[in-house]
Amino acid sequence: MADTNYDTRRGELKTYFDRTAADKWVALTSNTPVSRIRETVRAGREATRSTFLEWLPHDLTGMRILDAGCGTGMLAAEISARGAHVVAIDISPALIEEAKRRLPTDLRAHIDFRAGDMSDSDLGTFDYIVAMDSFIHYPLSAIIELLEGYAPRVKRGLIFTFAPRTPALAAMKTIGKLFPKNDRSPAIEPVAEDRLAAAIEASHVKNYGLRAARTRRISTAFYKTQLMELVNA
């Protein structure tokens, strides 16, 4: 998968979500009872979402934010409640419809939900771009491709997660193949933090003033992700 580009991998993921995954993600991002495995994933995602909100300004009034890979819209809703206008896009039309269904009435004027390609330049420019667990399915080359596309279109900063390359995560990927299919997630692509940082430094991203700032790893029993923040220096 190391040489897979963004468009190729996006096509594979669209097929996965269209055919098998949407119902699972609807359940995972709700209060519906789930398996013990998925309970740990739910807890990890809640901690990750809280970190995104911690790193963003509390007052986002008047700002335009892209939620890239918004899923059922939980992060988008909390961002919009801080005063931002959010463009929330996801590869899965089913998840977008669920996000619209869940959205409180008082926030509907503040979020533009779209089913489509999160890299689409026609989405415009933004104060912040957030991507929670949407890059984790892409190899390093595709992540850099995404970041280079976003760099000229973000004014303040970009926060995303990637799957950290660790012995524990590698073991979990192997063990995960033994789980029942209902407990499997789409394939993740672990990326070493030092390789990612070096690739960002060597890319066109820095030409637009973006520099690495904070990073934080979130880990529960069956959920591992790492946040990285790029800020406009």
For residue 31, what are the domain limits?
A: 6-232
Whether 215 maps to a domain, the answer reads yes
Encode pLDDT of 155-212 as tens digits: 999 999 999 987 665 555 554 554 445 444 557 899 999 999 999 999 999 999 999 9
The per-residue pLDDT for 207 is 95
**pLDDT (mean) for 13-32:** 72
pLDDT over threshold 60, residue 118 = yes
CA 10, 119, 63 angle in degrees (round to 5)?
140
pLDDT over threshold 70, residue 1 = no
pLDDT over threshold 70, residue 228 = yes
227: closest CA among 43, 48, 88, 5? 48
- Indicate the pairing of strand 126-131 with strand 111-115: unpaired
The per-residue pLDDT for 32 is 79
Residue 80 burial class via C-beta count within 10 angstroms: exposed 0-12, middle 13-18, buried 19 and up: buried
The per-residue pLDDT for 2 is 46
**pLDDT (mean) for 98-103:** 95
Whether 198 maps to a domain, the answer reads yes
Whether 78 maps to a domain, the answer reads yes
Q: What CATH number should be reported for the domain holding residue 190? A: 3.40.50.150
How many independent structural domains does the chain possess? 1
Sheet holding 223-232, edge to edge: 111-115, 85-90, 64-68, 126-131, 154-162, 223-232, 210-220
The per-residue pLDDT for 188 is 86
Whether 1 maps to a domain, the answer reads no
Whether 102 maps to a domain, the answer reads yes
